[in-house]
Chain A
Amino acid sequence: MTQSAARAPILAAPRKRRLSRQNWERIVSILILLPSIIALGIFIYAFIGWTGFISLTAWNSAAPDFTFVGLQNYARLFIGGGTDMTRFHYDIRNEVGFLVLFVGGCLVTGFLLATLLDRKIRGESIFRSIFLFPMAISFIVTGVAWRWILTPGTEETGWVGVNLLLTNLGLGGLRSAWFTDPTVFYIQPTTPLGEFLHSIGLGFITVPALGYAAAITSIVIAAGWQMSGYTMALYLAGIRSIPDDLREAARVDGASEWEIYRHVIIPLLKPVTLTVVIILAHIALKIFDLVYSMTGGVSAGFATDVPALNMWKTTFDATKFAQGASIAIILLLMVGVLIIPYLVWQTRQEAQ
């Protein structure tokens, strides 16, 4: 509303032949914006195009080679066979597992904490600060700290971190190899279920690439530690913006607290939930620093490898630039599919 009002005096200026003050100021305003537009045009959009071009070339060694090879680099990731393909399939598996557990975990924790904090809690601001402070810290610090906390140790040299704590508490059965765990949960072809799937022609899903790597849980724990407080803050702001009389009215109608949440608060929080999901999911897709610092960028059987890490290692460690560029473009497409509809939706909503 304020925006259309803002347009009126400036843009609906009476027409004049010579360069009026309005027109001059309008040109100045665009000129001021121009450096940013050019910079972002080059550094975002032209660079994306450039990356896309590199991904279609044969530049897979230190020396640039711009021979056009079509979609070969992409094909190598999906159907080409060899380490590149296996690794990328595992990346996607890990990314999906990470994304689902991380976003789901943050939503549940964040919503729970927000609803609890909304109940007139003494020391609310202290709790809020404690839940939110990890957000201020670098993913590298988080990775270093959690790597130490989740270092498994061994029976002979002594347990470390959480495993030590569990052992001391008499919960030794819960010990885990955490981020070093090479276990992958998937439907094995030799099990009855696997054999059944084979017999009905679904044998292709009994592969480790369609499973869940146990080590991902550790990354979820560390990333959730960092981001669930943020989810809480967004939900709390959302809950607080719901008018009190709405709840009061429901209460007068005899609704229980549970029903008020079920039928009033949760539906009204839908936009917040959407925002949270979009933001967390895009963080999950981009996750790099945390995995890099927690695992040193290597893992047995690529159990904690993710696309953003694979891209970086492939490009700058293995100097396979074109291969790296193809991973980067796939990463961009995944983020784009998520973000572009959201941005369009936001812009439309604002225009109303």
Chain B
Amino acid sequence: MAAATQRRPQRRWHWTRILIYAVLILFAIWYLMPIYILLMASFKSQAEALQIQNMWLPPRVIGFKSFQIAWFGSTEPPATLGLEQGFYNSLMLVIPATIISCFIGSINGYVLSKWKFRGADFLFTLMLFGMFLPYQSILIPLVVTYQNFARLTGIQLFATIPGLVVAHVIYGIPICTLIFRNYYAQIPTEMIEAARIDGANFFSIYRRILLPLSQPAFVVVVIWQFTSIWNDFLFGITLANTPKVYPITVSLNNIAGSFHVPYNVQMAAALLTALPPLLCYIILGRYFIRGLMAGSLKG
């Protein structure tokens, strides 16, 4: 990026420059428009929200009632179940799942980049297919297994948070392994050879050399897993099956899907659901983009 050398001098505000900026600004408006609509709807008072002909206009008075109902729900008709429970469920699900994913991905990536055995690449390709797998094709066996797991082992997986954690961790192994493997492949083998001559073994190489260098890869995996688990809907709606366990996306869909909930409450709920991954994006944007690149296989 910085390598871009000075091109031939340009007249500063040539009409093509103006056109380029105009197009970019138009697109920026297009991308921001839904957020604008969400904000305008959420911050209106109940009475003002009813004036749908003004839905594109900012609120005259800023109100927080929509957020209050979206979060806590409301008992007065139309009775609404709030997002609160779903928010905590998602948090309880995302945190352990992300941490476990990181460590599994890291150790797998270490083996697959620095301890390649015969057939390792083939195995890795088989793993990668899991990144693209349409989950519909494993959903029925997954539900059947989960429903019968308690009877066979005494461990309740169906409709529990640990059950969702297990599903997200397992189906997250491919992408997490990929990110760490590609990252470790860049670490010079000479370093590892030198450590081996000094008597380091399999574990001490990992602990003393790779792990201290892994921070950027950890950040990428944390962001990736955090946003994709937070945003997941399919596993939530299929495996949770009770409001006590629903992740936030399912709660949101229930609020928005029941047509009697006022639209401003729906929009406030959508905004609250989008907030954690958006904050993650704003704070760690640089790494976020790196994660997206990793998602396309090549670094």
A contacts, CB < 8 Å to B: 2-3, 5-7, 9-11, 21, 25-26, 28-30, 32-33, 36-37, 39-40, 43-48, 50-51, 54, 109, 112-113, 116-117, 119-121, 127, 129-142, 144-149, 153, 158, 160-161, 164-165, 168, 225, 229-230, 233-234, 237, 240, 244, 248, 275-276, 279, 282, 285-286, 288-289, 292-293, 296, 308, 311-312, 315-316, 321, 324-325, 327-329, 331-332, 335, 339-340, 343-344, 346-347, 350-351
- In the complex, the answer to whether A225 meets B116 with C-beta atoms within 8 Å is no
Is the beta-carbon distance between A140 and B185 smaller than 8 angstroms?
no
Q: Which of B3, B123, B134, B177 contacts A285 (CB 8 A)?
A: B134
By the criterion CB–CB under 8 Å, are B53 and A164 in contact?
Answer: yes
Q: B residues within 8 Å of A by Cβ?
A: 1, 3-5, 7, 20-21, 23-24, 27-28, 30-34, 37-38, 41, 52-53, 55-56, 104, 107-108, 111-117, 121, 123-130, 132-142, 170-171, 173-174, 177, 185-186, 188-189, 192-193, 196, 201-203, 227, 230-234, 238, 249, 252-253, 256-257, 263, 266-267, 269-270, 273-274, 277-278, 280-282, 285, 288-289, 292-293, 295-298
Q: Please judge, given known A-B contacts A3-B185, A165-B56, whether A141 and B252 are in contact too, CB under 8 Å.
A: yes
Q: Flag if A148 contacts B201 (CB, 8 Å).
A: no
Give A140 to B257 CA distance when docked, in angstroms.
11
| Complex Cα spacing A28 to B114, Å | 13
Residues in A with CB closer than 8 Å to B263 are: 148
Q: Is the CB of A164 within 8 A of B55?
A: yes
A329 touches B253 (CB 8 A): no
User: Could you list 15 A-B pairs, sorted by A, with CB under 8 Å?
Assistant: A6-B189, A25-B115, A25-B202, A112-B23, A113-B27, A148-B263, A149-B33, A282-B132, A286-B136, A288-B234, A292-B233, A331-B134, A339-B132, A343-B125, A347-B125
- Supplied contacts A51-B137, A130-B31, A351-B121, 16 more A-B pairs, CB within 8 Å: A3-B185, A136-B281, A137-B231, A165-B56, A225-B30, A279-B296, A288-B234, A289-B249, A293-B233, A308-B134, A311-B136, A312-B238, A321-B140, A328-B136, A332-B137, A335-B132
Residues of chain A with a CB closer than 8 A to B292's CB: 132, 135, 230, 233-234
CA separation between A36 and B55, bound complex, in Å?
51
| A120 CA / B2 CA spacing, docked (Å) | 11
Interface of B is mostly: helix
Alpha-carbon gap, A26 to B278, bound state (A): 43
Q: Are B136 and A43 in contact (CB under 8 A)?
A: no
Q: How far is the CB of A74 from chain B (nearest CB, A)?
A: 14
CB distance from A34 to the nearest CB of B (A): 10
| Nearest A residue to B174, CB-CB | A40
- Given the known interface contacts A139-B233, A140-B231, A225-B34, the answer about A316 and B107 at a Cβ–Cβ threshold of 8 Å is no
Asked whether A43 and B231 contact (CB < 8 A) given A137-B274, A275-B298, the answer is no
Minimum Cβ distance to chain B for residue A248 (Å): 8
Asked whether, in the complex, the Cβ of B274 is within 8 Å of the Cβ of A141, the reply is yes
The 4 residue pairs across chains A and B that have the minimum distance between CB atoms: A138-B231, A47-B138, A29-B115, A136-B281
> Are A117 and B24 CB-contacts (below 8 A) given A33-B108, A331-B136?
yes
**Chain B residues within 8 Å of A344, by CB:** 125
Given the interface pairs A138-B273, A140-B249, A144-B256, the reply to whether A324 lies near B113 with Cβ below 8 Å is no
The minimal Cβ–Cβ distance linking A173 to chain B, given in whole angstroms, is 19
Collect the chain B residues with CB atoms within 8 Å of residue A145's CB: 34, 37-38, 267, 270
Closest to B276 in A: A136
Known contacts A138-B274, A296-B257, A327-B136; is A10 also within 8 Å of B115 by CB?
yes
Distance of B166 from chain A, by nearest CB (Å)? 9
With both beta carbons as reference points, the residue of chain B lying nearest to A285 in the complex is identified as: B134
Which of A43, A134, A288 has the most CB atoms of chain B within a 10 A radius of its CB? Answer: A43
Q: Which chain A residues border B139 with CB–CB below 8 Å?
A: 51, 311-312, 315, 328
A320 to B173, CA, bound (A): 31
Chain B residues near A315 (CB-CB < 8 A): 139-140
Chain B residue numbers with a CB within 8 Å of A37 are 123
Are B201 and A33 in contact (CB-based, < 8 A)? no
**Structural contact, B137 and A133, CB atoms closer than 8 A:** no
A44 to chain B: which residues have CB within 8 Å?
129-130, 133, 138
Taking a contact as CB atoms under 8 Å apart, the answer to whether A29 and B137 are in contact is no
- The docked-state distance in angstroms from the alpha carbon of A7 to that of B118 is 10
Closest to A131 in B: B31
B146 → A minimal CB distance (Å): 11
Measured between C-beta atoms, what is the minimum distance from B248 to chain A in Å?
Answer: 9
State how many angstroms separate the Cβ of B103 from the closest Cβ of chain A.
11
Given A141-B274, A148-B267, A343-B125, A47 and B142 contact (CB-CB distance below 8 Å) = yes
Given A2-B185, A36-B108, A51-B137, the answer on whether A43 and B252 have CB atoms closer than 8 Å is no
> Chain B: which residue is nearest A41 at the CB level?
B126
* A148 partner residues in chain B, CB cutoff 8 A: 37, 41, 263, 266-267
Which residues from chain B contact A146 at a C-beta distance below 8 Å? 34
A35 and B216 CA atoms in complex are apart in Å by 25
Q: Are B202 and A29 in contact, with the CB atoms below 8 A?
A: yes
Minimum CB–CB distance for B94 against chain A, Å? 12
Known contacts A10-B115, A331-B136; A40 and B127 CB within 8 A of each other? yes
A93 and B192 CA atoms in complex are apart in Å by 54
A142 to B249 alpha-carbon distance, docked (Å): 11
Residue of A nearest to B259 (CB): A296
| A245–B115 CA distance with the chains assembled, in angstroms | 39
A234 to B299 Cα, complex, angstroms = 11
Beta-carbon contact of B117 and A29 below 8 Å: yes
B133, B174, B230, B282: the one contacting A138 at CB < 8 Å is B230
What is the distance, in angstroms, from B55's C-beta to the closest C-beta of chain A? 7
Query: Of A127, A140, A164, which is in contact with the most chain B CB atoms at under 10 Å from its CB?
Result: A140
Residues on A with C-beta less than 8 A from B188 are: 2
Q: How far is the CA of A30 from the CA of B107 in the complex (A)?
A: 11
Does A144 lie within 8 Å of B116, measured CB to CB?
no
Which residues of the other chain, A, contact B252 by a CB distance below 8 angstroms? 138, 140-141, 144
Residues of the B chain whose Cβ atoms lie less than 8 Å from the Cβ of A230:
292
